[in-house]
């Protein structure tokens, strides 16, 4: 058993969402983004070197992995989801790491949980009931997820339904056609109406970056979504052929940073899709640290849309405290 200094002293509070002012948006301002060019080779080079220039080892790596857990939107978005599966997922969200591992890390009283549980709208009531009293918000995808091609009134009605059932966060999908045809006013109006329909629920705008063709489109769509009032910008639905990548994430973070400087407002970021390992979690945390700093490594401004990643993180933490790697089956997701 590892006997190093505990990662977090007893009594330390874990920051939970949402502790900062919401993004109120701006009017549509094309001059903030229309003339922006993105150098793909420079972007890919920067993204590739980020994770090789910084090394996080031993107790620091363990601490970062615990931080990653608190930023995970533990997710099930399958066609065969059931109330029972959602309840099991919520149980894992409330206790994402075994008690003996947390005790060895000095975190027995730290109340470590995931950042949220993300489900389809019809599963929201089951998740809300299972998470009652935990402080963990329920996030719901909406607006015709994942394609987003149902008529707008139905998409808005889906948001109203999910919020009415108790969802505290809404993950909307944009109409990709508006980006591909450069119809920024249509994209802005659509997202603004979705933001209004979300009410008090925080809204994450999924850009489905794998469908947008160019990094320039990614930057522009990010900026329009934030101007329309998105509280988070999110890479992917997880259903595209290409989901979250470091170069795309880097472009979105630069847009997020530019929006903050121009508007004075703070917006969060959520990569999603294709992230399965503890190493993936470390890579995106490094990206956040290098580009935006420590405030964006907290669950009120950073989320990881993942499910299987949590099992591998728990396995790595067990290795840290015991020196042995367990079989993956010892850390089942739910």
215: its two tokens: 């990094």
Tell me the CB-side half-sphere exposure of residue 267, using CA atoms within 13 A. Answer: 35
Q: Identify whether 234 is a catalytic site residue.
A: yes
The answer to whether residues 151 and 143 touch, using CB atoms and an 8 Å cutoff, is: no
Which residue out of 94, 234, 280, 312 is catalytically annotated? 234
Structural Rg of the chain based on CA atoms: 19
DSSP 205: E
Nearest 5°: the CA angle 225, 229, 234 is 45
For the four alpha carbons of 275, 276, 280 and 281, in that order, the dihedral sign comes to positive
Which residue out of 168, 211, 270, 300 is catalytically annotated? 270
Question: Residue 93's closest CA among 133, 59, 141?
Answer: 133
Which residue out of 67, 73, 92, 171 is catalytically annotated? 171
The answer to whether residues 96 and 69 touch, using CB atoms and an 8 Å cutoff, is: yes
The answer to whether residues 281 and 67 touch, using CB atoms and an 8 Å cutoff, is: no
317: its two tokens: 């933490």
The CA distance from 196 to 327, in Å, is 47
Q: Are strands 202-206 and 304-306 parallel, antiparallel or unpaired?
A: unpaired
Question: Residue 200's closest CA among 226, 162, 237?
Answer: 162
Q: Identify whether 171 is a catalytic site residue.
A: yes
Q: Identify whether 129 is a catalytic site residue.
A: no
Element (H, E) at 304: strand 304-306
Give one DSSP letter per residue of 37-104, joined into a string. ---HHHHHHHHHHHHHH----HHHHHHHHHHHHHTEEEE---TT--HHHHHHHHHHHHS-S-HHHHHH
Question: Residue 4's closest CA among 57, 41, 54, 55?
Answer: 57
Tell me the CB-side half-sphere exposure of residue 1, using CA atoms within 13 A. Answer: 10
Catalytic site positions: 171, 234, 270
């Amino acid at each position: 058993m590892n006997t190093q200094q505990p990662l977090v002293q007893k009594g330390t509070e874990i920051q939970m969402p949402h502790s900062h002012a919401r993004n109120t948006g701006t009017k549509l301002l094309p001059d903030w983004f229309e003339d922006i060019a993105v150098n793909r080779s420079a972007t890919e080079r920067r993204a590739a070197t980020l994770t090789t220039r910084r090394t996080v080892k031993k107790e620091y790596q363990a601490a970062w992995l615990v931080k990653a857990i608190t930023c995970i939107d533990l997710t099930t978005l399958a066609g065969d989801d059931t109330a029972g599966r959602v309840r099991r997922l919520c149980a894992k969200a409330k206790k994402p790491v075994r008690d003996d591992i947390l005790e060895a890390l000095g975190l027995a009283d730290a109340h470590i949980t995931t950042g949220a549980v993300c489900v389809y709208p019809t599963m929201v009531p089951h998740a809300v009931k299972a998470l009652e009293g935990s402080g963990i918000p329920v996030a719901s995808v909406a607006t015709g997820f994942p394609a987003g091609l149902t008529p707008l009134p139905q998409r808005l009605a889906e948001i109203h339904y999910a919020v009415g059932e108790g969802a505290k966060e809404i993950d909307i999908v944009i109409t990709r056609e508006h980006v591909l045809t450069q119809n920024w006013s249509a994209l802005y109006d659509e997202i603004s109406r979705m933001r209004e329909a979300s009410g008090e629920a925080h809204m994450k705008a999924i850009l489905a970056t794998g469908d947008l063709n160019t990094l320039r489109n990614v930057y522009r769509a990010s900026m329009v979504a934030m101007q329309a009032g998105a509280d988070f910008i999110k890479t992917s639905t997880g259903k595209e052929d290409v989901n979250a990548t470091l170069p795309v994430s880097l472009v979105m973070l630069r847009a997020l940073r530019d929006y903050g400087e121009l508007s004075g407002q703070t917006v969060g970021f959520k990569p999603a899709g294709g992230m399965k390992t503890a190493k993936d979690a470390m890579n995106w945390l490094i990206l956040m640290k290098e580009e935006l700093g420590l405030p964006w490594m907290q669950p009120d401004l950073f989320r990881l849309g993942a499910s299987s990643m949590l099992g591998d993180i728990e396995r790595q933490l067990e290795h840290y405290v015991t020196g042995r790697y367990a079989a993956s089956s010892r850390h089942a997701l739910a």
